[in-house]
A and B are shown apart, each in its own frame.
Chain A
Amino acid sequence: MRNMVQVRGLKKNYKDHEVLKGLDFDVREGEIFALLGGNGAGKTTALECMEGLKRYDGGSIRIDGSRGIQLQSASLPGYIRVKEAVCLFEKWKKAGDGKRWSEVFGLDGFYHRKYRELSTGQKRRLHLALALIGDPEILFLDEPTAGLDVEGRIGLHEEIRRLKAQGKTMILASHDMAEVESLCDRIAILSDGNIAFLGTVGELTTTVGKHYNITIRTGQGTEQIETEQIGETLLARLTEYQEKNVVILDIQVDRGSLEQHFMKIAKGE
């Protein structure tokens, strides 16, 4: 599969502070790739280097396709109308698909409304529509659902899935683990300027989540056990309960959420 983005040894310093210490990863055609990390891990810096908005101090970035960029904190002049913003970006990008993207994101209903009169969700959708003008092959999304309510988030996730179905390659920076788990094909977790994990969500769970979480609910209460030996541990506990004539109401076994694994990696455990 074709690599749309190729990052090799990416380094970035802010004065004496080394934010990115040599990142290496590829983003494949048609996939949704997420950059994860705690505050200050360098994900927005890495994203902005790829977007061409920030200069980097070492390494290389190769982008194989046109870019559409939705910034985390984006704004437009308060008095510009939706229609005018779409038209302005169409003119600069020499494209004619602004109306199409406006309709896709349900903006045609308030085409004549001023930017300052839009809700947070409507602004997010407008900026996504503006980023898509010119039909870019690669879309950069920085915290796309930040500040949105549940309805807005679900709606935007649907749009992102629809774009993926159209073959768009997307690179996403997010804090929302549920969002990453449901949308992304592969993830890179940044920790202290390095990539601490690179792979699929399943691989993360398998590789890092060696521990099983067992929750046993009985008539006497709920017991939680964390173990690497699920069979032996579970059998031993069940036998013990049986011997004590304790009624077991429910047993749940899971391998931990992405959030738990992420926390472990981000903390360098």
Chain B
Amino acid sequence: MGAFLYGAALQWRLDIRSKTLLLTCYLVPLLFFAVMGGIFTSVLPDAGDTLVSSMTVFGVTMGAVIGVPPSLVEIYGSDIRRVYQASGVPVWSGLLFTNISAVLHLFFMSVILYAAAPLLFDAKLPEHPGIWFGGLFLYIVTSTAVADVIGLAVKDPAKTSMGSMIFFLPSILFSGIMFPEELLPEAFQAAGKLFPATWGYRLLSGGAAEASCVWPLLLTLLLAGIVCAALVRRVRE
């Protein structure tokens, strides 16, 4: 237990020191929120109703999909993994600790956004905060699980960035965060359903844990978990 707690706390500190995660989990999402929040609420009077949810989904998607894979590549695509393995440090520990740290950072970013949105833009808060945060937690975990697949499957940093962008851009464009889904061509609407951001946004903006939105996220989480387990096994062998 001592090793587990120390490893998790150490990863948290390393993420703060490396600044990559800070940039993708805090600085860029909050800056985007500050700029786009102002534009959205001034152009579309109703945008304040969904601002907290849309900006949260954007921030979580970015922090997870762009921020997590490089940390995994640093461990699993380099000699760090072999050093850990040679010294009896479990292969899965790097993945687990990176995830714990990322989930906590993304959760804190979401809390900051949640608190700031009504003050800055007179945004409307969810009617049921408990359920909303529950949904948020599910979305954060699902997003980091998908990010894990990218980080474990691709070992080259340049290809990882490309893989992250290929996943990130349609997640943002097709999910309804930037403009209503109804304005998208049908093909793009259908494609959007393949990305967890669409279901995360529907879940959070709906204000309640709708089963129709929870199941796709749980299914994605399950699939990503299975793929991650296979990839870690492949790395170990």
Chain A contacts to B: CB under 8 angstroms = 51, 53, 55, 69, 71, 73-80, 84, 87-89, 91-94, 114, 127, 130-131, 133
Partner of B17, one of A55, A73, A79: A79
On whether the beta carbons of B85 and A88 are closer than 8 Å, the reply is no
On whether the beta carbons of B86 and A89 are closer than 8 Å, the reply is no
On whether the beta carbons of B80 and A77 are closer than 8 Å, the reply is yes
**Chain B residues positioned under 8 Å from A73 (CB to CB):** 79
Residue interface mask B73-92, A partner, CB < 8 A = 1: 01100111011011111100
The reply on B6 being an interface residue by CB < 8 A is yes
On whether the beta carbons of A79 and B85 are closer than 8 Å, the reply is no
On whether the beta carbons of B89 and A92 are closer than 8 Å, the reply is yes
On whether the beta carbons of A92 and B87 are closer than 8 Å, the reply is yes
**Chain B residues positioned under 8 Å from A131 (CB to CB):** 86-87
Q: How many residues of B contact A (CB 8 A)?
A: 23
Q: What residue in chain A is nearest B85 (Cβ atoms)?
A: A53
A71 to B86 alpha-carbon distance, docked (Å): 8
On whether the beta carbons of A71 and B82 are closer than 8 Å, the reply is yes
**Chain A residues positioned under 8 Å from B74 (CB to CB):** 77-78
On whether the beta carbons of A80 and B10 are closer than 8 Å, the reply is yes
The reply on B186 being an interface residue by CB < 8 A is no
Q: What residue in chain A is nearest B83 (Cβ atoms)?
A: A74
Residue interface mask B51-86, A partner, CB < 8 A = 1: 000000000000000000000001100111011011
**Chain B residues positioned under 8 Å from A51 (CB to CB):** 86
In whole Å, how far is A167's beta carbon from the nearest beta carbon of chain B?
Answer: 22
**Chain B residues positioned under 8 Å from A55 (CB to CB):** 237
Specify which of A75, A84, A94 lies most central, judged by the most chain B CB atoms within 10 Å of its CB.
Answer: A75
**Chain B residues positioned under 8 Å from A114 (CB to CB):** 17
Partner of B86, one of A53, A77, A78: A53
On whether the beta carbons of A53 and B7 are closer than 8 Å, the reply is no
The reply on B3 being an interface residue by CB < 8 A is yes
Residue interface mask B87-116, A partner, CB < 8 A = 1: 111100000000000000000000000000
Q: A91-B7, A92-B3 are in contact. Are A77 and B14 (CB under 8 A)?
A: yes
Q: What residue in chain A is nearest B7 (Cβ atoms)?
A: A88
**Chain A residues positioned under 8 Å from B18 (CB to CB):** 77-79
Specify which of A51, A78, A79, A84 lies most central, judged by the most chain B CB atoms within 10 Å of its CB.
Answer: A79
In whole Å, how far is A78's beta carbon from the nearest beta carbon of chain B?
Answer: 7
* CB neighbors of A among B1-25 (8 A): 2-3, 6-7, 10, 13-14, 17-18
**Chain A residues positioned under 8 Å from B14 (CB to CB):** 77, 79-80
Q: A80-B10, A91-B7 are in contact. Are A75 and B78 (CB under 8 A)?
A: yes
Q: What residue in chain B is nearest A89 (Cβ atoms)?
A: B87
10 A-B contacts (beta carbon < 8 Å): A53-B82, A55-B237, A71-B82, A73-B79, A77-B14, A79-B14, A79-B17, A88-B89, A92-B89, A130-B83
Partner of B87, one of A78, A79, A80, A93: A93
On whether the beta carbons of B79 and A75 are closer than 8 Å, the reply is yes
A93 to B6 alpha-carbon distance, docked (Å): 13
In whole Å, how far is A92's beta carbon from the nearest beta carbon of chain B?
Answer: 5
Q: A89-B89, A92-B89 are in contact. Are A76 and B83 (CB under 8 A)?
A: yes
**Chain B residues positioned under 8 Å from A78 (CB to CB):** 18, 74
Q: What residue in chain A is nearest B82 (Cβ atoms)?
A: A71
**Chain B residues positioned under 8 Å from A88 (CB to CB):** 3, 6-7, 10, 89
**Chain A residues positioned under 8 Å from B83 (CB to CB):** 71, 74-76, 127, 130
A74 to B85 alpha-carbon distance, docked (Å): 11
In whole Å, how far is B5's beta carbon from the nearest beta carbon of chain A?
Answer: 9
**Chain A residues positioned under 8 Å from B82 (CB to CB):** 53, 71, 74
On whether the beta carbons of B2 and A91 are closer than 8 Å, the reply is yes
In whole Å, how far is A4's beta carbon from the nearest beta carbon of chain B?
Answer: 18
Q: A88-B6, A91-B2, A92-B87 are in contact. Are A77 and B75 (CB under 8 A)?
A: yes
On whether the beta carbons of A93 and B88 are closer than 8 Å, the reply is yes
A108 to B180 alpha-carbon distance, docked (Å): 59
A195 to B137 alpha-carbon distance, docked (Å): 58
A75 to B78 alpha-carbon distance, docked (Å): 7
A91 to B10 alpha-carbon distance, docked (Å): 12
**Chain A residues positioned under 8 Å from B88 (CB to CB):** 92-93
Q: What residue in chain A is nearest B5 (Cβ atoms)?
A: A91
